[in-house]
Structure 1
Amino acid sequence: MTAVVGGITAPLATGRDGWLGLLRRIPPRILWPGVIGAAMLAAGGLGAGAIVRRDPLLSGTFMNAIRYGHGHDLAFMVLFVGLFLMVLSWVRLGRLVRVGTVGGRTVALAAAAWTTPLIIAPPLYSRDVYSYLAQGAVALRGFDPYAEGASVLDLPLRGNVAGLWQETPSPYGPLFLLLGKGTVFLTGDNVILGAILMRIAVLGGLALLVLAIPGLTRHLGGRAPVAMWLTVANPLVLALGIGGAHNDILMVGLMALGVVKVLDRKHLSGFALIALATAVKATAFLVVPFLVWVWAARLSGPARHRFLVATAAGGAAFIVVFTAATMVAGVDLGWIGVLKSQGPLLTWMSLPCAAAEILFYTLGRHIPGWTHDGFLGFFRAAGMVVLLGVLVRQWWLAREGGVDAVRRATIALLAASLLAPSVLPWYFTWALALAAAFAWSDRWIATLAGVSVWMVLVTLPDGTIVARWTYGDMNGWVWWPYLAATVAAGVWVGKSLLKPEAPPDLEPVVDGVTVTDVIHAPEPAPKAAAVPEPTRVVGGTGG
């Protein structure tokens, strides 16, 4: 592999030395604040995160003081300072990515460095990982996880599940249940070790996303470094997705790689990967009808014939893989009926919930016969009707296949994350995994960055969603200044990203080679009848 600057060619560093050299060349003011910030997130999470109810490590020690009173306040501040440092590093790296100074491997390595401290951190920004472990234990101990909730278990696996979900069966697919069963089999009732292993499993989704992004950008027109920065290095993905050990990250990694395979004309393997993604979380199935159009557009014959052939072949691959995952997990299809279990959760990031809350407390409560639950149920049902209309319309408009079909699949994923009865910040990674691979203007990149940081901030470290407070709650006004501050922080991130990042000691780096090294490299002697090596141009779309 070679790099080209101004017509001068030099070999790129490869292998382990090349990776280590690339990591060393990342400017310290970009790399280390993020590493220190991630470590502070992990440390602060011991007191302010989504901690276990009875911690066998800290209980009975002086460190237990960080979970109460002033100690908890201190842990909370440490965590927020850590988040600020991580965001600061991310913004600084983004400035270099935006102007084409660094490549995709640089971004991936920086993200890996920022992620490492989070692997052993307590669960952050969510208690969902405890539900994952409980659901795996329910299946492992002979109960039907699609009929029974955590309440059938003994402590400590049951005791760490949020009260809202104690009676709720698992809404997740057989592959993820299999991961949960395997984790509990290995760790038993050790909730701390189980949470770490679940996080490592979810981390595999991030690795799959790194593999998928170069192919996605090649087909969809974006730049790999930008897409990598918007996804695998994003605090929304790292702090919430990995910190919270959310299965959404594993799902989007499999889904993104499946989309790449279909775009690369490896249709059967692509549909198989989408089946595995669906076997983690049902949301991934939304892209299947759109990928059918991609395949059908490449076939010959009448339009109806092409559609039926692509549907039959893709459907067969999907069904075979999904059925195999279901059989290996030892479960049935009961999880499909449990998907409505998100109903009890009320968050303002769901547009139907937001509309219901605002309109009920301003108008609805003055209408005789209307109750809050009735108002909420009506708007949630209306939201599902609107979502269905959006999905059908986007699918029909995607019938020409190609890149446009993937773009409309991305719109479908975004609509699902906005119009679902319950929405949480990490749901927006569904659409982001594909959207980041398209070509974006600098201002849109800045907007995506600001929104990402805002979504992190509206979730408190212990898993409380600030935007969950209802409009009519008399104590809700306390949170409005904080919400205003989160918006201001998002705006600051977007504006900061558009500023130049050019420290005096920085040499532009592309995949392990400084521009100075390449420019001053001696011109190689011509080789007669030699087949030229692949080249990469510094700047532009290199990744």
Structure 2
Amino acid sequence: MALPVDLRRCQALGLAGTAFLALGGETAGALPAQDLLAPGSGQAVLGLVGVYFGVVLLIAAWVLLGSVVRGPEPPTPRSLLLVLAVWAAPLLLAPPLFSRDVYSYIAQGAMVDAHIDVYAYGPAQLGGPLADEVAPVWQQTATPYGPVFLVLASVLSALTRGQLPAGLIGMRLIALLGVALMAAALPRLARHSGADPAAALWLGALNPLVLLHLVAGAHNDAIMLGLLGVGLVAARGRWPVLGVVLITLAALVKAPAALGLVAVVALRSRGRGPRAVLRHTVTTTTAAVATTVVATAVAGTGYGWIAALKTPVSPHNWSPTSLLGRVTGAVLEELGSGLAPFALPAWHAAGLVVTAALLLFIWLRLRPGPVYALGLSLAAVAVFGPAVRPWYALWGLFLIAAAAPTGSVRTRVAAASAVLALTVLPSGAPADGEQVILAVSGGVLALVVLWQAHQAARPQSPVRERTA
């Protein structure tokens, strides 16, 4: 496909960014334990600088692509999908980046394959080299994921026979399937919501967070969002029951997708009165319960996933409620109060109350379109939940991209995305001061290169000869 010049430049710049990401990740990524390098070693230093050099190039390419999308001759969705494929290509065989969660996924699949209850035990119960790859904080933690994802992880474990390289590639292919489903759903949801399909793809699929965390990080949020997106497309069309089934399967990967069932009821009963709401609520609930029962039976993992929704979060999580809980607990401990241990649970409970209040306000008072309401709801769950990770922002962003009513909303969401793309080290480990300096150096170097390229591309004004 022949692309316009501006689009080719964006494609080339983004490709350079993801290529540097992949190369830097070879020494600074979330590598297998046997390949880990000391953070201060020369190769690790160059890798960290290279990764952040690539991240800034990718963000710049994405921003420039946004100006093309908003221009007088916006690219077609098909052209944008080609750009996405080109940008993602270098990351396909790169090591995991920005998180070690993919190792947990592989270990949990092996546990299911070995008939170990993943809802009662952490990966330490499995033992062996796969369990050793899991971050220490999660070694004793039961999985919070639903039976649908565990079936995928178990099948992958059986196919790869527990071999780590093959398992990593398999998990990335599952994530790529999720991203492909997201990209397929976005234009359709945008048209239904009266939004620009090209703008929806730019914000929701070509977003740096998608490439960094769903492709490079291989997070299972990709398959959750992909199933949720195509489920909404089916539900608003001629296959509402299929839509409910797909959305329920998404919720059986990660629980927040269950809010999509509310959007199904709103889509099917919009403007039709209380009886229609009741009828579609009963139909949706029945189909969702039936799907849950069948999927759980097929998985053979039982209903432990319900209790596992309370799986503890990382003690260093930087969600607002966790941060406030730690600060409050520290203050109470300094004061010698016996209430200090209750500070964190209390703030988490307050977060749940705030989330519930926001959901009621969005659906009952604000009443935007169902897809946009779902995006706002998932954003509220991500922000005020007990755990926050940069890729959690994609829960709401994906649907906000499809249905945002104004360009200003997209601009604010895009700015937040660019900031979040810079917040995690490629190793997935907590940052120290030296690593922050190296990361900033890589980003500044990219900005210098971009500025020099911009200056070189500017047309030079003619020099007037002076006459004596």
Query: Structure 1 length normalisation: TM-score?
Result: 0.76
Task: Call closer, same or farther: CA 1:120–1:371 in 2, change over 3 Å.
Answer: farther
Q: Match of 1:436, SS?
A: helix
Q: Please show how residues 370-519 of structure 1 align to structure 2 within 5 Å.
A: 373-397=341-365, 404-439=369-404, 441-464=406-429, 478=433
Q: Which residue, 231, 241, 247 being the options, matches 1:258? A: 231
Q: Which residue of 1 aligns with 2:204?
A: 231
Q: Which residue of 2 aligns with 1:337?
A: 307
CA contact (8 A) 2:52 2:439 kept: no
Q: Which residue of 1 aligns with 2:52?
A: 80
Structure 1 position 179, deviation (Å):
0.9
Structure 1 position 222, deviation (Å):
1.3
Structure 1 position 393, deviation (Å):
3.8
Q: Which residue of 1 aligns with 2:265?
A: 292
Structure 1: distance between partners of 2:277 and 2:434: 51
Task: Call closer, same or farther: CA 1:439–1:153 in 2, change over 3 Å.
Answer: closer
Task: Call closer, same or farther: CA 1:225–1:370 in 2, change over 3 Å.
Answer: farther
Q: Match of 1:457, SS?
A: coil
CA contact (8 A) 1:223 1:439 kept: no
Q: Match of 1:120, SS?
A: coil
CA contact (8 A) 1:138 1:149 kept: no
Structure 1 position 267, deviation (Å):
1.5
Structure 1 position 79, deviation (Å):
1.3
Structure 1 position 118, deviation (Å):
0.8
CA contact (8 A) 1:360 1:372 kept: yes
- Whether 1:310 aligns to 2:280 is yes
Structure 1 position 438, deviation (Å):
2.2
Paired residue type of 2:11: L
Structure 2: distance between partners of 1:111 and 1:418: 27
Name the count of aligned residue pairs.
Answer: 448
Of the structure 1 ranges 134-143 and 316-325, higher mean CA displacement relative to structure 2 is found in 316-325
Q: Which residue of 1 aligns with 2:105?
A: 132
- Whether 1:191 aligns to 2:164 is yes
CA contact (8 A) 1:352 1:383 kept: yes
Structure 1 position 319, deviation (Å):
2.2
Q: Gapped runs of 5+ residues in structure 1?
A: 1-19, 56-63, 467-475, 505-543
Structure 2: distance between partners of 1:27 and 1:404: 32
Structure 1: distance between partners of 2:239 and 2:8: 41
- Whether 1:21 aligns to 2:2 is yes
Q: Gapped runs of 5+ residues in structure 2?
A: 460-468
Q: Deviations over 1:500-528 (max 9, x none)?
A: xx999xxxxxxxxxxxxxxxxxxxxxxxx
Q: Deviations over 1:211-265 (max 9, x none)?
A: 1112111121211111101121111111112111001111111111112222225
Q: Which residue of 2 aligns with 1:511?
A: none
- Whether 1:179 aligns to 2:157 is no
Structure 2: distance between partners of 1:483 and 1:122: 20
Structure 1 position 427, deviation (Å):
0.5
Q: Match of 2:402, SS?
A: coil
CA contact (8 A) 1:227 1:437 kept: yes
Paired residue type of 1:391: L
Paired residue type of 1:344: S
Task: Call closer, same or farther: CA 1:480–1:161 in 2, change over 3 Å.
Answer: closer
Structure 1: distance between partners of 2:434 and 2:324: 19
CA contact (8 A) 1:66 1:75 kept: no
Q: Match of 1:423, SS?
A: coil
Q: Match of 1:463, SS?
A: coil
Q: Deviations over 1:261-294 (max 9, x none)?
A: 2222531121111011112111100221232233
CA contact (8 A) 1:290 1:395 kept: no
Structure 1 position 335, deviation (Å):
0.9
Paired residue type of 1:416: V
Find runs of 4+ consecutive structure 1 residues off by over 6 angstroms.
64-67, 479-486
Q: Which residue of 2 aligns with 1:50?
A: 30
Q: Which residue of 2 aligns with 1:351?
A: 320
Q: Deviations over 1:339-374 (max 9, x none)?
A: 1114334322x221233345555x545543056543
Q: Which residue, 40, 50, 53 being the options, matches 2:20? A: 40
Paired residue type of 2:68: L
Structure 2: distance between partners of 1:436 and 1:269: 23
CA contact (8 A) 1:156 1:189 kept: no
Task: Call closer, same or farther: CA 1:109–1:152 in 2, change over 3 Å.
Answer: same
Task: Call closer, same or farther: CA 1:408–1:65 in 2, change over 3 Å.
Answer: closer
Structure 2: distance between partners of 1:72 and 1:484: 11
Structure 1: distance between partners of 2:435 and 2:383: 21
CA contact (8 A) 2:74 2:198 kept: no
Structure 2: distance between partners of 1:102 and 1:269: 32
Structure 1: distance between partners of 2:280 and 2:148: 25
Tell me the percent identity: 35
Q: Which residue of 2 aligns with 1:71?
A: 43
Q: Which residue, 240, 243, 256 being the options, matches 1:267? A: 240
Structure 2: distance between partners of 1:421 and 1:138: 26
Q: Match of 1:21, SS?
A: coil
CA contact (8 A) 2:121 2:140 kept: yes
Relative contact order: is structure 1 or structure 2 higher (C-alpha 8 Å, sep ≥ 6)? 1
Paired residue type of 2:287: A
Query: Structure 2 length normalisation: TM-score?
Result: 0.87
Structure 1: distance between partners of 2:100 and 2:302: 26
Task: Call closer, same or farther: CA 1:425–1:345 in 2, change over 3 Å.
Answer: farther
CA contact (8 A) 1:104 1:224 kept: yes
Task: Call closer, same or farther: CA 1:76–1:291 in 2, change over 3 Å.
Answer: same
Superposed CA RMSD = 2.9
Q: Which residue of 1 aligns with 2:132?
A: 159
Task: Call closer, same or farther: CA 1:218–1:377 in 2, change over 3 Å.
Answer: same
Q: Deviations over 1:390-411 (max 9, x none)?
A: 234434447x7xx633332222
Structure 1 position 441, deviation (Å):
4.2
Higher share of residues assigned helix: 2
Structure 1 position 134, deviation (Å):
0.7
Structure 1: distance between partners of 2:436 and 2:160: 43
Paired residue type of 1:333: Y
Q: Which residue of 2 aligns with 1:368?
A: 336
Q: Match of 2:95, SS?
A: coil
Structure 2: distance between partners of 1:182 and 1:480: 38
